[in-house]
Amino acid sequence: MRPNTMNKYGAVLDDFGLETMLDKLMETYIRPLSKVFFAEVGGSTLDSHHGFVVEYGKDRDVDLGFHVDDSEVTLNVCLGKQFTGGELFFRGTRCEKHVNTGSQTEEIFDYSHVPGRAVLHRGRHRHGARATTSGHRVNLLLWCRSSVFREMKRYQKDFSSWCGECFREKKERQRLSIAATKSELLKQEGESTT
């Protein structure tokens, strides 16, 4: 079985009997870290996962297009081998409504994989992987999910605590409201002096 809809080369780790080990990894390490760093996207209530490995290089996947993960929190561990390229590029966190909006300068971040090191990020943090230009790269990914957060999200309209575009829209509404209030106060002041 393909590891996900975008990668052709790799394997689903549950198919090899690693589900219990990945449960423990999520419960013991990822959930406590996510409770601190990703509470706004259900980090403290992670309760399921999809674990897989992917391979990049000659005769394998070369790169990975711009996307979001089907997770609340993603662990991406570079298992290594010798390779060049394959950098991750991040371009801001977005809700479903804003997933295709532009990125702000402060949302642009690139990360170079180092064998034995990991990245933990929000699943809705838009990202991709540049081409692995030589060698062979293998990564282990664990998409951690929260059924509680997914249910709550169905009834929520404001995602400004984690969606960059919702946050910008909210700030703009506040700015316009303040400007209108100031304008009205100045107008009233002008009328009272005449």
Which regions of the chain are under pLDDT 50? none
pLDDT tens, residue by residue, 83-125 = 999 999 999 999 999 999 999 999 999 999 999 999 999 999 9
In the chain, % helix, strand, coil (3-state, to 5) comes to: 35, 30, 30
CA distance 132 to 117: 17
Per residue in 69-87, pLDDT (tens digit) is 999 999 999 998 889 999 9
Best CA proximity match to 61, nearest among 144, 128, 115, 16? 128
Q: Are 81 and 115 in contact (CB under 8 A)?
A: yes
**Residue 162 CB: number of other CB atoms within 10 A?**
18
Q: What's the CA gap between 22 and 26, in Å, rounded?
A: 6
**Residue 29: per-residue pLDDT:** 97
Whole-number pLDDT of residue 183: 87
Distance from C-alpha of 54 to C-alpha of 83, rounded to nearest angstrom: 14
Q: Given this model, what pLDDT does residue 135 score?
A: 92
- What is the pLDDT at residue 167? 94
